């Protein structure tokens, strides 16, 4: 999986959950570690297409997941049809 983000940010009212996240990685697995409230779930919701960012961009294997959700959902092992 190729993950790319530039200046990615997500704001909830006056609170920034993510601010200027820049990533460029290629990996079969992604592990996020951090304290409670550090934005891990918010980042995952954006890269899986569940949520839109407030600013910036993210691409997963060249696809913008929150715009092309069907094209990106097969890239994640934890999202499967029942």
Domain locations in the chain as residue ranges: 2-75
Tell me the C-alpha distance between 59 and 54, whole Å.
Answer: 15
Contacts 24+ apart (CB under 8 A), 20-26: 20/56, 21/56, 26/1, 26/2
CATH of region 2-75: 3.40.50.300
Residues of the chain with pLDDT under 50: 77-82
Supply the pLDDT for residue 30: 81
pLDDT in the model for residue 13 = 94
What was the pLDDT predicted at 41?
94
Per-residue confidence (pLDDT) for residue 1, from 0 to 100:
83
State the pLDDT at residue 67. 85
pTM: 0.80
């Amino acid at each position: 999986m190729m993950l790319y983000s530039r200046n990615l940010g997500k704001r909830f009212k006056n609170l920034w959950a993510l601010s200027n996240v820049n990533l460029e990685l290629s990996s079969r697995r992604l592990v996020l570690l951090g304290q409670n409230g550090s934005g891990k779930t918010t980042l995952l919701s954006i890269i899986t297409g569940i949520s839109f960012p407030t600013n910036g961009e993210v691409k997963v294997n060249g696809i913008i997941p929150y715009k092309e959700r069907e094209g990106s959902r097969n890239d994640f092992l934890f999202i499967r049809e029942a």
